[in-house]
Amino acid sequence: MKISWLSLLRAIMTLIYFFTWMSAILAPIAFFVFADKEQTSFENFGVTIFNVHWTFYVVLSLSVIGYFLFLAMIFHLKKVAYRITPRRFIDSEIKNHFYKAGLFCVMGALLTKIPAVVYKYSTLVIVKNKKVLIKDASLQLGVSFDSVLVILAFGIFLIIISKIIDQSIQLKNENDLTI
pLDDT digits (tens, 9 = 90+) for 9-44: 999 999 999 999 988 888 777 777 776 665 567 776
Q: Hey, how many other C-beta atoms are within 10 angstroms of the C-beta on 10?
A: 15
3-state DSSP assignment of residue 44: strand
**CA distance linking residue 129 with residue 145, whole number of Å:** 34
Give the residue-averaged pLDDT of 82-91.
88
Residue 140 confidence (pLDDT) above 60: no
Tell which residue, 49, 44, 62, 60, has the closest CA to residue 121.
Answer: 49
Phi and psi at 139, nearest 5°, equal: -90, 125
Residue 122 confidence (pLDDT) above 90: no
Read off the pLDDT band of 89 (50, 70, 90).
Answer: confident
**CA distance linking residue 115 with residue 111, whole number of Å:** 7
pTM, entire model: 0.81
